[in-house]
Amino acid sequence: MEYINLAENTGIDTIINKKISAASRIFRHTTNPNVTHVKYMAGTEAEIIEFNVPENSKITKGTLRSLDFPKDAIVGGGTRDGVPFIATGDTIINSNDKVVVFSLPSGYEDLSKFFT
């Protein structure tokens, strides 16, 4: 843990830390079953969360702009049938898409409701 701050300040992009890795995996398995990856951004409270979008989930009910999406979260992009896309307000998320969401902890509970 002592080396994370040093590594971030020296430009090292990836650090393997057994405790952080284990916590990330535990978190993934104890939250929404549609979460496939979670990355906690060291030095901030933000999390990067990848979701598999299930059928009939709330996120598929309109454009991102028209949904009451949590203010503390943003859809960055995703993949549809293996093709990557960047999300905008006019993006419609479909079932079976994989999407990446950047979220503060305060937005996670509301965010999770969009992917169930």
Q: What is the pLDDT of residues 12-29, one digit of tens each?
A: 555 555 566 556 655 654
| Distance from C-alpha of 38 to C-alpha of 48, rounded to nearest angstrom | 6
Q: Are 93 and 103 in contact (CB under 8 A)?
A: no
- In this structure, are residues 95 and 57 in contact, taking their beta carbons and an 8 Å threshold? yes
Q: How far apart are CA 116 and CA 111, in angstroms?
A: 10
Residue 29 parent element (H or E): helix 18-30
Provide the strand spans (E) within the chain.
Answer: 35-40, 47-52, 73-80, 83-86, 98-103
- Digit-by-digit pLDDT tens for the chain (116 residues) are 455 565 556 555 555 555 665 566 556 545 666 776 677 666 777 888 888 999 999 999 999 999 988 889 999 999 999 999 999 999 999 999 999 999 888 887 788 889 88
> Fold for domain 2-115?
Alpha-Beta Plaits (3.30.70)
Question: What is the rounded distance in angstroms from the CA atom of residue 106 to the CA atom of residue 88?
Answer: 22
Strands laid side by side in the 83-86 sheet: 35-40, 47-52, 98-103, 73-80, 83-86
Q: What is the pTM of this model?
A: 0.69
Each domain of the chain, given as residue ranges in start order, spans 2-115
* Joined tokens for residue 106: 């305060």
